[in-house]
Amino acid sequence: MRLAVLGAGAVGGSVAELAAEYGHEVVALADSSSAVVADPASATETGTGVDTTAALTRKADGSDLGPAAPEDALAANYDVLVEATPTTLGDAQPGFDHVATALDRDRHVVLANKGPVAERYAEVRAREADSAGEVLFEATVGGAIPILSTVADLGADRVDAVRGVLNGTANFVLSRMAAEGLDYDHVLAEAQDLGVAEADPSFDVEGTDAALKCVILANRLAEADAEGVDDLAEQTTSLDEATVEGIAGLPGNALELAAEDGQTVRLIGEATRDAVRVGPRLVPEHGTLAVSGTRNIVEVETDHAGRLAISGRGAGGDATASAVLSDVGRLPEPSR
């Protein structure tokens, strides 16, 4: 497949670098200020994509990715648009417009950006229904963990709920606090030094990131019951409707009290067809959900298969890029 990659951060950059290994070709790579785009004539032949390593090296050196404008990437001759720009809330722009443009051109879209499917799920599906392109978004939930494809494989109608640890930063903070008896501010500062937490950690520690992932999961489950795209708009949920509590300022003695009882605290997100809840919860200290460090885990409640648990790397460029590239591999070759 010919890929246009929007976003050249950890995920977009890693998709661009790994694409060839998965048998794909990058014909455009853009960040917010520039792009490198293959010659449209030559890009129809294999091996004539852009030199992504050279472009990413230029970016790392403080230069532009290439001589083109970001919007040129969106107009390139690609089969699949990989949308890996930062997640934005509310109208999910400019990610949503990127998705819409690709679908209008009957191209596939693979999302790493959570915005369009967390904030405008039904609109994305409605536009997909009018397009020859398809939209996949495994990388938006749980990084390398194939949670959406497992739900699809089991049949979303056979899944009652999905819950788990979906934010590695919050989990790192909680597992360090419990293991070392350190207080929240100390561990957060340590996480920032290690690059595990952002300078502004609020998106992670206030539960927003986990909640967006749960909203996507809830919408995926609701879709199994929806009859058509109009009904889907009624069934979908949003961040506004989610009950979200973070871990910011959690007192260290909460973890000590939990430990006295063989328990610990984790930031648990839960998605059902009609509700999303995220908050710190008591879980058994050595139980399934008490993963350590930045690892993520999800439990899937099924009707006849019992409870499945899947854990893995919830973030990181290569891990998330592998989810993007698995999605690319699931898409049908274009008939053009």
* 59 in active site: no
Query: Which is closer to its own copies, CB of 188 or CB of 291?
Result: 291
The answer to whether residues 26 and 3 touch, using CB atoms and an 8 Å cutoff, is yes
64: left (phi over 0), alpha (psi -120 to 50) or beta: beta
Q: Which helix (H) or strand (E) holds 83?
A: strand 80-83
Query: Which is closer to its own copies, CB of 102 or CB of 297?
Result: 297
Distances (CA, A) of 146 to 102, 141, 251: 24, 9, 34
Select from 154, 182, 233, 282 the one that contacts its own copies (CB under 8 A).
Answer: 154
Select from 110, 170, 321, 328 the one that contacts its own copies (CB under 8 A).
Answer: 321
Is 56 near its own copies (CB under 8 A)? no
Select from 144, 174, 188, 191 the one that contacts its own copies (CB under 8 A).
Answer: 144
Select from 9, 302, 331, 334 the one that contacts its own copies (CB under 8 A).
Answer: 302
Backbone dihedral angles phi then psi of residue 330, each to the nearest 5 degrees: -85, -15
**Residue span binding its own copies (CB under 8 A) among the ranges 64-72, 119-127, 225-233, 320-328:** 320-328
* Exposure b/e, 177-192, CB count within 10 A at least 16 = b: bbeeebebeebbebbe
Select from 40, 67, 86, 155 the one that contacts its own copies (CB under 8 A).
Answer: 155
Least separation in angstroms between residue 269's CB and its own copies is 19
Nearest Cα neighbor of 37 from 74, 85, 62 is: 74
Is 221 near its own copies (CB under 8 A)? no
Is 170 near its own copies (CB under 8 A)? no
**Residue span binding its own copies (CB under 8 A) among the ranges 58-66, 96-104, 231-239, 307-315:** 307-315
Place of tokens 């497992």: 150
Is 322 near its own copies (CB under 8 A)? yes
- How much is the CA Rg of the chain, to the nearest whole Å? 20
Place of tokens 């890693």: 14
For residue 98 the two structure tokens come to 């990127």
Q: Where do contacts with its own copies occur on this chain (CB under 8 A)? A: 18, 22, 144-146, 149-150, 153-155, 158, 286, 288, 302, 304-313, 316, 318-319, 321-323, 326, 329-330
Catalytic site positions: 213
